[in-house]
Chain A
Amino acid sequence: MSASNETIEQVTRKGYEYGFVTDIEQEYAPPGLNEDIVRFISAKKEEPEWMLEWRLEAYRGWLEMEHPDWQKVRFPPVDFQAISYYAAPKAKPKSLDEVDPKLLETYEKLGIPMHEREALLGVERPEEEKPEVAVDAVFDSVSVGTTYQAKLKEQGIIFCSMSEAVRDHPELVKKYLGTVVPRKDNFFAALNSAVFSDGSFVYIPKGVKCPMELSTYFRINANHTGQFERTLIIAEEGASVSYLEGCTAPMRDENQLHAAVVELIALDDADIKYSTVQNWYPGDENGVGGIYNFVTKRGLCAGKRSKIAWTQVETGSAITWKYPSCVLKGDDSVGEFYSVAVTRNRQQADTGTKMIHMGKNTKSTIVAKGISAGEADQTYRGLVRVNPTASGARNYSQCDSMLIGDKCGAHTFPYIDIQHPSAQLEHEATTSKISDEQMFYCQQRGIGTEEAVSLIVNGFCKDVFKTLPMEFAVEAQKLLEVTLEDSVG
């Protein structure tokens, strides 16, 4: 093994920083899944009858569906009857001030501000420059609090947990829920539709530019549970919003399931930017434990000139399986997907996007960067479809893989389905390794091996990082450093 390979191995073998457990009294649904459990969850959330019926319909659909097996990941079958589908802290606070200090402490440890006017992720800056970030904090199955709600409300913006939305804004939920990802879209979407707990609901009224970043922080804490997040974001005509989600979980030997559904809807001239920094517990170096992250994310550019951009930085989870997609229905609408996925040790990821062109002169951009280290295996899977109605459609795709060490894998499956002769598509793909020459060059300038790997990898990901909101770009870079520390050898 070359010297740089040895260092690379060390860098990718670093521990997980967010693996602590919060000791708090929680209540659970008994393990297993049946109609009673669906009713139990719905009742816990004091939902109206129509919501329960919606869930039950999804559940019945799920029963008839089969677990998919086309993805390039390997894991033992999940026992859906062994999971508890609801876990929540016992105390039910009425406002942020009443939230259990232990919970607030948890978010503080994770760098998430639960007090308004606090900087996100501890990024230090002068008081007047501190950007305001509204946070919805989801702990296992429930939201424990959402900041800045009052201030956002002044402009008609709704930012709340999904449970609150069902209760307080049923007309919006009824109108949009399941319209982008239908209940029976796929096995995990159906499961989510039956048992979803909390997630965020965002509504930006006509012509309003959301004045701050909105973010949701997902934390899995309880064991033997799954988290079934449901998020719905609606941007009315001419509205715009930037939203970010972050995720962490304790270190455990068991595998825990996170099956989320996220739906975005952009009407005429609306603009939604959705960023993810996913750092679920990835399991240990032997592949024991870690989160199964099986997620359906889809955005509908319903209106003319609307735009949806997904940016994801995926460093966690034992298995990641997600394809944030854009359905470009409105004429001149734009879809973008920027992704950095890092897998190390025994992590597996099968991730990418789908761009479905339906409207005229629709444009999409895909930039996917995959970094594999240790014995990890990673797949980019993407679909670009141009429907017969989509004249003048354009797509640019770029998929780059970087291999660190000699035991990992990178695969690319780009699917292209063109049904209009005017479509213009470009596809570029590269596979690279950190070369011994690059390492020596950095070292000769005084830069140590770990810093050199981090520098080279960050350079490789730059096209994606520059699309993240600034605070998160800093966080993403730090996360990458931590993730790759010790992975060089």
Chain B
Amino acid sequence: MALLEIRNLHATVEGEEILKGINLSLNTGEVHAIMGPNGSGKSTLAKVIAGDPGYEVTGGEVLLDGKDILEMEPEERAREGMFLGFQYPVEIPGVSNTYFLKAAANAIRKHRGEPEVDAAQFLKHVRERMELVQMDESLLKRPVNAGFSGGEKKRNEIFQMAVLEPRLAILDETDSGLDIDALRTVSHGVNALRSDDRGFLLITHYQRLLNYIVPDTVHVMVDGRIVKSGGKELAEELEASGYAMFEEGTAA
């Protein structure tokens, strides 16, 4: 059984259809990349899977570990093991990163019928995970994303993922706005978390990220549809030829 199974998914925002029949199957242990030009619906796909109420699903199915998740609230999906790394992480003033993460970890544990985290153990776990993304410890005490630089926000997303240990991580343009050093660090974090019981869906505009996180499968998305899927070499082809050939293809 696939970890994530998307069947003929259609979605609209404010009446306009953005996703026009997406099919995708991702197994545990796999990393898939979705590439596509701006406006192709990549980020919409990420948000729809995570349950953003700003989008309306008009058809199709999304299964996580065989369970239909479209009727679930976003928090239930998260508790079932789904994590979305945001393209634009929001600020929550006055709420420390640690407090926020502990609330999240406890909500997930409660869902699984586990007791609340032990404060000391949790802090130890958090510190280990910080090293993974080389995040400064002072960021733990600072309010969630408040006053963080663009790069710090992206690192913070990967850090949160590392702490929460999801089954499925969807990373929406995690590479955008990162300089080369930060990109290396973030990629290192993701690679360290790759495992046989976890899957990744990377949303990216550029091939550059895939030099660091080598995907098993690459999907090309254009105008709300996946128009081609292939191995990691597909990304390199795209880098050489651009998206134009696919866009012409859909227009024809």
Contacts and interface: CB of A to CB of B under 8 A. Distances in A.
Interface in B100-151: 100-101, 103-104, 107-108, 111, 143
Contacts of B62: none
Contacts of A67: none
Q: Which of A2, A443, A445, A459 has the most CB of B within 10 A?
A: A445
B100 A443 contact: no
B95 interface: yes
Given A2-B53, A3-B53, A447-B104, A437 B95 contact: no
Given A445-B100, A451-B103, A459 B92 contact: yes
Contact of A456 (B73, B83, B95, B108): B95
A445 B89 CA distance: 12
Contact of A459 (B52, B73, B74, B143): B143
B75 A446 contact: yes
Contacts of A462: 94-95
Counting contact residues on chain A (CB < 8 A from B), the size range is 20 to 34
B73 A443 contact: yes
B11 interface: no
Contact of A440 (B52, B101, B103): B52
Contacts of B164: 445-446
Given A437-B90, A458-B94, A459-B143, A444 B78 contact: yes
Given A446-B108, A448-B75, A455 B92 contact: yes
A398 interface: no
A433 B209 CA distance: 36
A446 B111 contact: yes
A463 interface: yes
A447 B90 contact: no
B79 interface: yes
Contacts of B95: 455-456, 458-459, 462
A461 B143 CA distance: 13
B201 interface: no
A446 B50 CA distance: 11
Contacts of A456: 92, 95
A446 B78 contact: yes
Given A440-B53, A448-B75, A463 B90 contact: no
B20 to A, nearest CB: 24
B243 interface: no
Contacts of A445: 75, 78, 83, 100-101, 103-104, 107, 160, 164
B89 A441 contact: yes
B173 to A, nearest CB: 16
Nearest to B82: A444
A435 interface: yes
A240 interface: no
Nearest to B80: A446
Contacts of B74: 440, 443-444
B160 A441 contact: no
B202 interface: no
Contacts of B51: 443-444
Nearest to B110: A446
B212 interface: no
Closest 4 pairs (CB-CB, A-B):
A459-B94, A459-B95, A462-B94, A445-B104
28 contacts: A435-B90, A436-B53, A437-B90, A438-B92, A441-B89, A441-B90, A441-B92, A442-B92, A443-B51, A443-B73, A443-B75, A444-B77, A444-B83, A444-B84, A444-B86, A445-B100, A445-B107, A446-B79, A446-B111, A447-B75, A447-B103, A455-B92, A455-B100, A459-B94, A460-B93, A460-B94, A461-B94, A462-B95
